[in-house]
Structure formats: C-alpha cells, structure tokens
C-alpha cells in the first residue's frame, strides 16, 4: 500500500512540472555527452588547455545563444576537472591583438602567436544548426600550429531548458529586423556602392590627376563582430571605358586596404584611399572598380561600375 502511494505521488509530481524538469534534465545530459566527446578528443591529442570561441550559426555569425553554449561547454569541461579552459575574454582580446578575426590557414602564424601568448593547446569552436529534432551542435578542436581542425564532435541539444529563452527571443525579433530594416534602410550616397553580409563599401569620389587616379571610399562594418577587410594588391584595380587597366603601386598604397587592411568594430565606419596608375597617354573619365578580397571572405571578387571621375582642376563633390 505504501509503495502504491509513493508511486502515485511520484506520478503527480511529474505531471505538475512535465516540461521544465524533463527539458532541463535532457539538456544537462546532452551537454555532458558533448563535453565528454570534447574531453576524449583532447585527451587523444594529448592536449589539456582549451580556448573556447563563440559558436556560430550556419552563416558563420556569432549569436547570444552561441556565446552562451561556448561558455556552458567550457564550464562543463572545467567542472569535470580533466582539462582547463582559457578565459574567453582574454582569448578574444589576444586574438584581436594579433589581428585575427577568424581562425583559418590564412592566419596560421598569428593564430600560433596568440595561442602561445595564452598558453592554449587547442582552440574550440562550434556551429549550431536548427533542425526539427533539436539543435545540432558540431564542435571542432583546432590545432594552433596550422589553424586546422584535428577532430570534430557532433551532438544534439533539445530546444528546451535554458535554450528555450534564446529561441523565443530570436523568433520574436525576426519579423522586425527583416521587414522593417529592408523598407527603411537609407540609400547610401556616393558614386557607387557594394554591400554584403559583412560590410558596405561606398565610393565617395574619384579624382583624376594626369595618369593617376585617387579614389576616396568608406567602409562600414554591418556584422556583429570585428571585421578586417584586406584585398589583393595587384588584383584590385580599375578599368576605364576603353578597357585599360589601372593598377595600384605599393609605393602609393603602403597604408591601404590591400597592404595593411582596415579593421572595424561592429557598426563602425572608416575612410580609405586607393591610388591607381595608368598610362600617360590614356584618356579616361569613367571607371569600374574590381576588388578581390583576402579578408573577411577568402578569394571573393566583386565590381562597382559607372564611377565617373573628376579632374584635379574641377571641384570635387564631397558627401557627408
């Protein structure tokens, strides 16, 4: 009889809090399985000190949920006591110091220097994919020596427990961001514009001086993270209406986009100047800008055409 009463009390307790208790327990269990996979992978690689980076969505963007999960996973691993984790604020500050905005082979030397500075054996990042069955998390262990993944661990987290609050915020924010911003976004003022998910480039003016062209432009960071814009010097050029190419010389562009690059904090806008040289016999008034990126997108190319130049004797129309 006593056993029957105890069973009934247990069933009533479960019915009183079915979603929160079960969802929280399932989340903790799934997070622990993911942490165990990371611990096992690090142990096999004989690495002990990990630097966790923000997890990103499928587009490579950091989100509040991604930051939360990176912190959660790092804490779970530290609680187990087998590995240590670098403070994430210190890790990001050090990467920024060495001009690393994302970890890949193009930054291999700087990544190694940053890892040495914080004594990190591995970097850990992750990608979150929303599926009907839950949030699929793919965690990568990245070697600082070559900035390449050495192991990947995949797990599934339920859309319950602490993650439920993040999902509700994202669902509520989406209609406002996508509908209103597209209707009210101001049209940039300038000779020509190019825009992608990371930044917006606006050509403000082009001044023609004999066989040299001075281009004044602005670049604004549209993303939620620090962005560094860098281009190929010889493959970022102008072509005029006759099809003649005007190239950049390193002597005129030592501080330019294609030699030092331009680093921007989120929503920050800065000015840049590019200088191109053509043949003294060339007569040109209209140009097309060809840009080939190194960062933030590797080997991406785009053009801005219909750029009308003014001569140095003509007044240059500046825009605020």
* Residues 1-42 pLDDT 10s: 555 444 444 444 444 444 444 445 688 888 899 999 999 999
* Residue 91 falls inside a structural domain: yes
In a shared domain, residues 154 and 260: no
- CATH number, position 203: 2.60.40.1240
How many domains are there within the chain? 2
Q: Same domain for 61 and 151?
A: yes
pLDDT value for 283: 79
The CATH number of whichever domain residue 150 belongs to comes to 3.40.50.10610
- Measured between alpha carbons, how far is 196 from 51 in angstroms, rounded to an integer? 30
- Are 263 and 157 part of one and the same domain? no
Is residue 137 located within the same domain as residue 225? no
Using CA atoms, how far residue 114 sits from 103, 202, 227, in Å, is: 11, 33, 18
Domain with 31 in it: 26-166
Both 151 and 231 in one domain: the answer is no
Q: 59 pLDDT band (50/70/90 cuts)? A: confident
Do residue 43 and residue 156 come from a single domain? yes
Q: Give yes or no for a contact between 122 and 143, defined as CB atoms under 8 angstroms apart.
A: yes
The answer to whether 84 touches 42, Cβ cutoff 8 Å, is no
pLDDT at residue 139 in the model: 93
Query: Given 127, 149, 166, which residue is the final one in a domain?
Result: 166
- Inside any domain, residue 183: no
Domain membership of residue 225 (yes or no) is: yes
Q: What is the pLDDT of residue 293?
A: 92
Q: Is the peptide bond before 37 cis (omega within 30 degrees of 0)?
A: no
33 and 162 in a single domain? The answer is yes
CA distance 309 to 307: 6
Q: Is the pLDDT of residue 185 over 60?
A: no
pLDDT at 214: 92
Question: Which tokens hold the place of 307?
Answer: 């750029």
Alpha-helical runs (H) found in the chain: 2-16, 18-44, 64-80, 88-97, 108-118, 163-175, 181-184
Work out the percent of the chain whose per-residue pLDDT is above 70.
82
Phi-psi label, residue 319: left if phi above 0, alpha if psi -120 to 50, beta otherwise:
beta
Instruction: Name the β-bridge partners of 200.
Output: 195, 220
Q: For residue 178, tell me if it sits in a domain.
A: no
CA distance 18 to 138: 29
């Amino acid at each position: 009889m006593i056993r029957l009463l105890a069973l009934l009390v247990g069933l009533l307790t479960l019915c009183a809090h079915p979603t929160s208790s079960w969802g929280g327990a399932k989340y903790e269990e799934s997070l622990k399985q993911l942490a165990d996979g990371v611990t096992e992978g690090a142990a096999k690689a004989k690495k002990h000190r990990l630097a966790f980076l923000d997890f990103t969505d499928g587009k490579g963007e950091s989100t509040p949920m991604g930051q939360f999960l990176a912190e959660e996973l790092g804490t779970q691993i530290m609680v187990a006591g087998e590995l240590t984790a670098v403070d994430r604020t210190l890790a990001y500050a050090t990467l920024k110091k060495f001009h690393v905005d994302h970890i890949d082979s193009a930054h291999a030397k700087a990544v190694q220097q940053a890892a040495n500075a914080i004594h990190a054996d591995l970097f850990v990042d992750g990608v979150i994919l929303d599926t009907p069955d839950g949030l699929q998390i793919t965690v990568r262990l990245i070697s600082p020596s070559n900035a390449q993944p050495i192991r990947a661990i995949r797990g599934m987290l339920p859309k319950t427990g602490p993650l439920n609050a993040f999902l509700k915020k994202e669902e509520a924010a989406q209609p406002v961001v996508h509908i209103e911003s597209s209707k009210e976004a101001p049209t940039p003022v300038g000779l020509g514009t190019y825009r992608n998910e990371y930044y917006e480039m606006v050509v403000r003016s082009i001044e023609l001086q004999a066989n040299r062209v001075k281009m004044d432009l602005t670049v604004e960071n549209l993303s939620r993270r620090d962005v560094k814009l860098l281009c190929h010097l010889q493959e970022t050029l102008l072509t005029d209406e006759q099809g003649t190419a005007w190239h950049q010389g390193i002597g005129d562009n030592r501080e330019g986009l294609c030699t030092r690059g331009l680093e921007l904090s989120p929503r920050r806008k800065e000015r840049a100047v590019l200088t191109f040289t053509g043949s003294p016999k060339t007569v040109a008034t209209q140009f097309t800008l060809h840009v080939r990126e190194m960062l933030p997108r590797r080997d991406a190319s785009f053009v801005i055409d219909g750029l009308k130049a003014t001569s140095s004797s003509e007044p240059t129309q500046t825009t605020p």
